[in-house]
Chains A and B, each alone.
Chain A
Amino acid sequence: MFYREAGDFKTSYVDDSQTFPIKFDRWRYYAVLAVAFGVVPFLINDYWANAVFVPFLIYSIAAIGLNILVGYCGQVSLGTGGFMAVGAYACYKLMTAFPEVSILIHVLLAGGITAGVGVLFGLPSLRIKGFYLAVATLAAQFFLVWLFNKVPWFYNYSASGQISAPERTILGHAVTGAQTTAQAKYLFCLVILFGLAWLARNLTRGTVGRKWMAIRDMDIAAEIIGVNPLTTKLSAFAISSFYIGIAGALFFSVYLGAVEVGEAFGIQKSFLILFMVIIGGLGSIFGSFAGAAFLVLLPVLLKNILVGQLGWATDLAAHIELMIVGALIVIFLIAEPHGMAQLWRLAKEKLRLWPFPH
């Protein structure tokens, strides 16, 4: 009914292998893009930008990054918070050392630096797998946070160890610092997310992605058919860290404007992003968005309903909120262990056949 394939004929391989082969899907995708770029910027205010959209966009970037590593390449990582910290501190050092260079370049360079660090901590993945690798990346998390707390050079010797983002502009519009408008913040993050998501989607369905998935599914078989585990695993670490580094740089410079490494990039952050990936759906770009939306937007929504509308005490609401989110995570994973992306896939399958199931 909704997803009609009848009459939707493909006459070339290019048509057949596009990301959204069904016309309705494709139009829906264009509609989402049109709303995101053409409608939201005109309606957005400070609250919607800072509390809802900007964190959602940034966490989506981080979730896509981690999904590449965990979902597509099967390398479990608990070091996400640490890698985000690398991105944030790299961005800070670049911003203060080269104030005349565009912030966009700094953000991309911060991603590049994080990619390098990610490769370094990815090296053990050649010898160890699964839980053991999770522990090795956990070490990265603790080491990096300790490093940024310990060495004053990283925070330019400030008295408190906080880093704060000075104002930087693109085409005359501030995108970091206090004078930034909601529109500028939102669009800057949206453009980066759009580019990165598009890149990730195309990487994962090409040679690189197939190699990752081969390693994930069975590394020995993959090696026998000619996939080089060294380059494959390290490329997954590099690209994943690149995304996470960019997310960290944006998190610091655009979203918060000042961070303290232990509080902003602690182990909690690693877990949060891993949960996003697991709940959203391993090995799915859409799943990364869904997971980020679930864990960023749901608590804000619940808070607004419980405190704003029902007028409950703030502490009671905060505790109930934790319980509701926790219960929903458990229910989700019992009902659909493959995450929200799989639910969405099943819904689409059913709608394509509806009202005539087999």
Chain B
Amino acid sequence: MKKTLTAIALALAVATPAMAELNVPNLSYRTGAYAANGIPYADGFNDYFTLLNERDGGIGGEKVAVPECETAYNTEKGVECYEATKGDGALVYNPLSTGITYQLIPKVTADGITLYTPGYGRTSAANGKVFANVFNYPANYWDGASIIIKDILSQNGDNIQGKKIALVYHNSAYGKEPIRTLQELAKKHGFEFVEVPVDHPGQEQKSQWLQIRRDKPDYVIMYGWGVMNAVAIQEAVNIKYPMDHFYGIWWSGSENDVLPAGDGANGYKMISFHGTGGDYPVYADLKQYVYDAGKAAGDGSNPGNVLYSRGMYAAMTISEAIRKAQELAGTSAVNPAQVRDGFEALNLTEERLTELGLPGFAQPISASCADHGGPGTAMIFQWDAAAKKWNQASDWIAADTDVIDPLVAEDSAAFASENNIAERCN
């Protein structure tokens, strides 16, 4: 009996993975209604850290451990994953879900861990004066809405007075985020704004697209995710909506979303805060150290696509912030508080991106105590159905800060007063 118990105890001890110095959990989802988009993102995230471990021996000589935890985009499971992983010294969380982000904002603030939400999450977390532990650079939902409107303006000679613009959105916290901004922009530019909500998970959109066919908006903007995107693009094709007047936010513009609609999706536009495609020099290293070594995450079919690039973008920013933290702290074994300082002091330059093998992949970021939101810029991409690739259709466009900044200040002030938070950085 005693022998058996010892054997079991030994087996448990062996089964527990060895503690790495840098722990960056990946709260991913590879199951459920949002899996099609969650898988490539998680693969990109894991592969980039695998590359750092294999090629450079980690960050600053410390190996990075990326334990994965399945959330299925479900907030309860997300909380479970957070609690399950934080005990191992987790440095940064990136849950890729606005719902889970809202759960975690108070928790990470209490636990002193960083929450990094590139392009999603709570928009007003861009205000570092209130949200000390949350970072959402390089761009947020409100920037996205403003950038799309700017592109529409440039298509119409800066005058969209009297035009009708519809927002097809996922009827959740995520989809509702841009409404305030678009209302303000509608006032400023004099266009008519129509809201068209789609309920989770979004497979049923017939009535919404009937409404669009009847209303004939000049432009349609989509804030969708998961299965909703592909269905919306197919429905738009069905009602013969002109694809080049149909814009998706960065979460509504992956290959998964446009491929099912075939040639009909040709000309569909989306915005992105990073480049896409497999032409960056870093892919040579990825091929050598990760794919060919048989260490790739998932089934290996995703490299180069939009969401894979975005997972890689998140991993790259996190690793650069950790590097900065190591530099500031003077030690390679950084703790969560030091990593938070690293995020706040992050200065990602064009030269550094070129060094990393990602020239022109992203915009430079220089964060500060008050600025956790980054430059707020993105590019427009257009889908070429024949070549099955995204073509860049614009240069970097900056958001309209005159409209966004007051909204961020207002929303974060409301959060601060609800939660008795004193402003920092003054």
Residue positions of A touching B, CB distance < 8 A: 45-47, 50-51, 55, 96, 149, 158-162, 164, 166-167, 177-179, 255-260, 262-264, 266, 300, 303-304, 307-311, 313-315, 317-319
CB–CB B76/A256 < 8 A: yes
CB–CB B30/A256 < 8 A: no
Q: Which of B31, B79, B414 contacts A256 (CB 8 A)?
A: B79
Cα of A5 to Cα of B72 in the assembled complex, Å: 50
Cα of A204 to Cα of B165 in the assembled complex, Å: 58
Interface string of B82-106 (1 = CB under 8 A from A): 0110110000000000110011011
Say yes or no: is B307 at the interface (Cβ < 8 Å to chain A).
no
CB–CB B177/A51 < 8 A: no
* Stretch of B168-176, B204-212, B230-238, B269-277 at the chain-chain interface: B168-176
Residues of A within 8 A of B102 (CB): 160, 162, 164, 258, 260
CB–CB B87/A309 < 8 A: no
Known: A164-B102, A309-B12, A311-B15. Is A300-B411 also a contact (CB below 8 A)?
no
CB–CB A317/B98 < 8 A: no
- Shortest A268–chain B CB gap in Å is 9
Interface string of B192-205 (1 = CB under 8 A from A): 00000101100000
- Shortest B125–chain A CB gap in Å is 12
- Shortest B133–chain A CB gap in Å is 11
Say yes or no: is B245 at the interface (Cβ < 8 Å to chain A).
no
Name which residue of chain B comes closest to A158, CB basis: B414
Besides A179-B110, A319-B31, 15 other CB < 8 A contacts?
Answer: A46-B87, A47-B87, A159-B407, A160-B98, A160-B176, A160-B177, A167-B419, A177-B106, A256-B103, A260-B75, A262-B199, A263-B172, A309-B15, A311-B15, A314-B30
10 A-B contacts (beta carbon < 8 Å): A46-B86, A47-B87, A51-B84, A160-B177, A178-B106, A258-B103, A258-B105, A258-B106, A263-B74, A300-B80
- Summed over the interface, the residue pairs from A and B with CB atoms below 8 Å come to a total of 113
5 smallest beta-carbon distances between A and B, as pairs: A315-B30, A178-B106, A160-B173, A178-B110, A314-B70
**Most B C-beta atoms less than 10 A away, residue of A259, A313, A317, A318:** A318
CB–CB A159/B177 < 8 A: yes
B319-357 residues with Cβ-Cβ distance < 8 A to A are none
Known: A149-B171, A161-B176, A260-B99. Is A50-B83 also a contact (CB below 8 A)?
yes
Cα of A69 to Cα of B228 in the assembled complex, Å: 36
Chain B count of residues within 8 A CB distance of the other chain: 50
CB–CB B12/A178 < 8 A: no
Say yes or no: is B420 at the interface (Cβ < 8 Å to chain A).
yes
Residues of A within 8 A of B15 (CB): 308-311
Name which residue of chain B comes closest to A258, CB basis: B102
Say yes or no: is B146 at the interface (Cβ < 8 Å to chain A).
no
Residues of A within 8 A of B12 (CB): 309
CB–CB A166/B103 < 8 A: no
Name which residue of chain A comes closest to B15, CB basis: A309
Known: A161-B176, A318-B70. Is A166-B99 also a contact (CB below 8 A)?
no
Known: A166-B418, A314-B28. Is A178-B109 also a contact (CB below 8 A)?
yes
Name which residue of chain A comes closest to B17, CB basis: A311
Judged by DSSP, the binding face of B is: helix
Cα of A234 to Cα of B110 in the assembled complex, Å: 44
- Shortest A325–chain B CB gap in Å is 13
Residues of B within 8 A of A310 (CB): 15
- Shortest B239–chain A CB gap in Å is 25
Say yes or no: is B216 at the interface (Cβ < 8 Å to chain A).
no
Cα of A179 to Cα of B419 in the assembled complex, Å: 11
CB–CB A256/B75 < 8 A: yes
Say yes or no: is B51 at the interface (Cβ < 8 Å to chain A).
no
Residues of A within 8 A of B62 (CB): none
Known: A161-B173, A317-B70. Is A262-B200 also a contact (CB below 8 A)?
yes
Cα of A177 to Cα of B102 in the assembled complex, Å: 12
Say yes or no: is B107 at the interface (Cβ < 8 Å to chain A).
yes
- Shortest A146–chain B CB gap in Å is 9
Cα of A241 to Cα of B121 in the assembled complex, Å: 33
Name which residue of chain B comes closest to A319, CB basis: B31
Say yes or no: is B187 at the interface (Cβ < 8 Å to chain A).
no
Known: A160-B98, A314-B28. Is A262-B80 also a contact (CB below 8 A)?
no
Residues of A within 8 A of B172 (CB): 161, 260, 262-263
- Shortest A313–chain B CB gap in Å is 8
Cα of A162 to Cα of B175 in the assembled complex, Å: 11
Say yes or no: is B384 at the interface (Cβ < 8 Å to chain A).
no
Residues of A within 8 A of B75 (CB): 256, 259-260, 263-264
Say yes or no: is B286 at the interface (Cβ < 8 Å to chain A).
no
Say yes or no: is B163 at the interface (Cβ < 8 Å to chain A).
no
CB–CB B76/A314 < 8 A: no
CB–CB B31/A55 < 8 A: no
- Shortest A310–chain B CB gap in Å is 7
- Shortest A203–chain B CB gap in Å is 30
Residues of B within 8 A of A262 (CB): 171-172, 199-200
Residues of A within 8 A of B124 (CB): 159
Say yes or no: is B68 at the interface (Cβ < 8 Å to chain A).
yes
Name which residue of chain A comes closest to B30, CB basis: A315
Cα of A308 to Cα of B171 in the assembled complex, Å: 34
Cα of A303 to Cα of B72 in the assembled complex, Å: 13
Q: Which of B84, B122, B180 contacts A47 (CB 8 A)?
A: B84
**Most B C-beta atoms less than 10 A away, residue of A47, A266, A319:** A47
Residues of B within 8 A of A315 (CB): 30-31, 35, 39, 70
Cα of A23 to Cα of B218 in the assembled complex, Å: 77
Cα of A319 to Cα of B86 in the assembled complex, Å: 24
Cα of A304 to Cα of B107 in the assembled complex, Å: 22
Name which residue of chain A comes closest to B38, CB basis: A315
Say yes or no: is B252 at the interface (Cβ < 8 Å to chain A).
no
CB–CB B72/A318 < 8 A: yes
